[in-house]
Amino acid sequence: MIRAPGINGKKIAVFGLGRTGLATYHTLKENGAIVLPWDEAEFARETARQNNVKLVDITQKRVWDDNDISQLIVSPGIPHLYPEPHPTIELAMQRGIPIDNDVGLFFQCMERMRAQNSMTEYPKVIAVTGTNGKSTTVTLINHILKAHGFKSAVAGNIGQAVLGLPSFSNLNHIILEVSSYQAEIASLLNPEIAVFLNLAEDHLDRHNGVGGYFAAKKRLFEGHRLEFAVVGVDEPEGKYLTNTLSVRNRPVKIAKVSNHNQNLDKGRVIIGSDNKLSEYSGSRIIDTYTLNKNPSLKGNHNLQNAAASYLVSRYLNVPSEKIVEYFGTFKGLSHRSQVVATINEVVYINDSKATNVNSTAHALESHKRIHWIAGGLIKDGGVKTLKKSLSNVKEAYYFGNAAKQFALELGQIPHSVYSSLPEALKAASTKAKPGDTILLAPAAASFDQYKDFEERGMHFISEVNHIKNNL
């Protein structure tokens, strides 16, 4: 458990007791804080009780009046400003009580430990953000570093909460996935290496538009310890970010990632396209690395992830040829271009994590002869922009809350509408021919019928296995 200097005896409220909230509670408790934990969901409170957490209902005004609370730590899903502050956030703000989250607290603790010289060596922190590809990139970097003998751990928005790491005194690297929700409210973001992959419209209500969304992600590059920045430059925001980094008072090494040759300019750039990475310095090509046909790295979007991982790993002194070798042994992540089965020469792919149009477009462009299963709870802006990405789709099968809206907005391709995922999958399986691909890439959130994208993906896998076992 991380040491947290300076909090002994302080009263700290923790709002939200999921994975990050419980880890925060235990860290604060073990470091001597008086913790006031709460969650609005009864199932989360019951889990907390089972973990010997004594609950205090901090949604009540009297709790704030009766206690000298010094800080409020919130979980990522709780809005602090847009579309409107949560009432409990308001209670803290009205009293001038600082608000933070587990990621901000982690970086604060690291700085306090450095000030006290409590460790001889500290792990480098690699922080990754972007709309799409964060989890794959974080996992791929960790795979490369571990394969090369480094001691590293993944935390943040994927897997383990950063404050839940059992120890980091023996780690060389901590690789954090940082969402916009985490970045916007963290009191401090201070990694040595930061990665910005891409930006597409997502979570706009939470950030009051694209500008606020980008501003949250850009915070990852503002810390004074930043040494190396990897930036995807296929959107204007990425180009702008590299421009601002180039004029910082403290020098920062910058490398760029692109899927398009037209983004070549001065500096170091890696172009990911056609199953290879091409490394440039200015307009001069330095080397080309051909990736094997690993399905976990299929498509230009995954080449972007691989390019970013390559640049981070090279900065950490992993040889180029070893990185390419480690790409070949990467198994990928569940629910992200996951090959579930091949049945009668039809490939079934689970990309349940494709919850927005941008990630879905990447999926649709990465496969041929697709029977596309999509639907769920549609996000702001609809799905009209997917019209330009449908050339590989033979037929679509829409399900769930937004099925009819999908049909209306993308009516130019053969399609049918279903109430549930199993019904859509059954229809697709009946029509698919040898050589076809059945692809779950929903282009929508899962919350109309599922707890999260993982539950949706697991349901798809279960149904595919049912088909396979009943042949």
The answer on 279 and 157 residing in a single domain is yes
The answer on 443 and 296 residing in a single domain is no
- Residue ranges making up the domain that contains 37: 11-100
Q: Indicate whether 293 belongs to any domain.
A: yes
Judge contact between 63 and 34, C-beta under 8 A. Answer: no
Give the confidence band of 331 by pLDDT, cuts at 50, 70, 90.
confident
Q: Indicate whether 332 belongs to any domain.
A: no
The answer on 154 and 17 residing in a single domain is no
| pTM exceeds 0.85 | yes
Can you give the CATH number for the domain in which 323 is found?
A: 3.40.1190.10
Can you give the CATH number for the domain in which 32 is found?
A: 3.40.50.720
How confident is the model at residue 266, as a pLDDT? 61
Q: Indicate whether 306 belongs to any domain.
A: yes
Classified as helix, coil or strand, 340 is: strand
Q: Indicate whether 267 belongs to any domain.
A: yes
The answer on 56 and 96 residing in a single domain is yes
The answer on 52 and 24 residing in a single domain is yes
- pLDDT tens digits, residue range 385-418? 999 999 999 999 999 999 999 999 998 899 999 9
The answer on 194 and 55 residing in a single domain is no
The answer on 195 and 270 residing in a single domain is yes
Judge contact between 196 and 220, C-beta under 8 A. Answer: yes
The answer on 179 and 241 residing in a single domain is yes
Q: Among the three residues 302, 327, 352, which one is the final residue of a domain in this structure?
A: 327
Give the confidence band of 264 by pLDDT, cuts at 50, 70, 90.
low
Can you give the CATH number for the domain in which 436 is found?
A: 3.90.190.20
Beta-sheet strands, E only, within 291-432: 338-343, 346-350, 370-375, 393-399, 415-418
Q: Indicate whether 201 belongs to any domain.
A: yes
95-132 exposure pattern, b = at least 16 Cβ within 10 A, e = fewer: eebebbbbbbbbbbbbbebeeeeeeeebbbbbbbbbbb
Q: Among the three residues 71, 100, 129, which one is the final residue of a domain in this structure?
A: 100
How confident is the model at residue 248, as a pLDDT? 83
Q: Among the three residues 306, 327, 348, which one is the final residue of a domain in this structure?
A: 327
The answer on 260 and 118 residing in a single domain is yes
How confident is the model at residue 202, as a pLDDT? 74
For residue 257, pLDDT over 80 is answered with: yes
The tally of domains found in the chain comes to 3
The answer on 277 and 348 residing in a single domain is no
The answer on 272 and 403 residing in a single domain is no
- Residue identified by tokens 């009946």 is 430
Q: Indicate whether 333 belongs to any domain.
A: no
**Beta strands at 173-177 and 124-129: parallel, antiparallel or unpaired:** parallel
How confident is the model at residue 103, as a pLDDT? 97
Q: Indicate whether 2 belongs to any domain.
A: no
The answer on 345 and 405 residing in a single domain is yes
- pLDDT tens digits, residue range 146-193? 999 999 999 998 878 999 998 787 899 999 999 999 999 999 999 999
Classified as helix, coil or strand, 193 is: strand
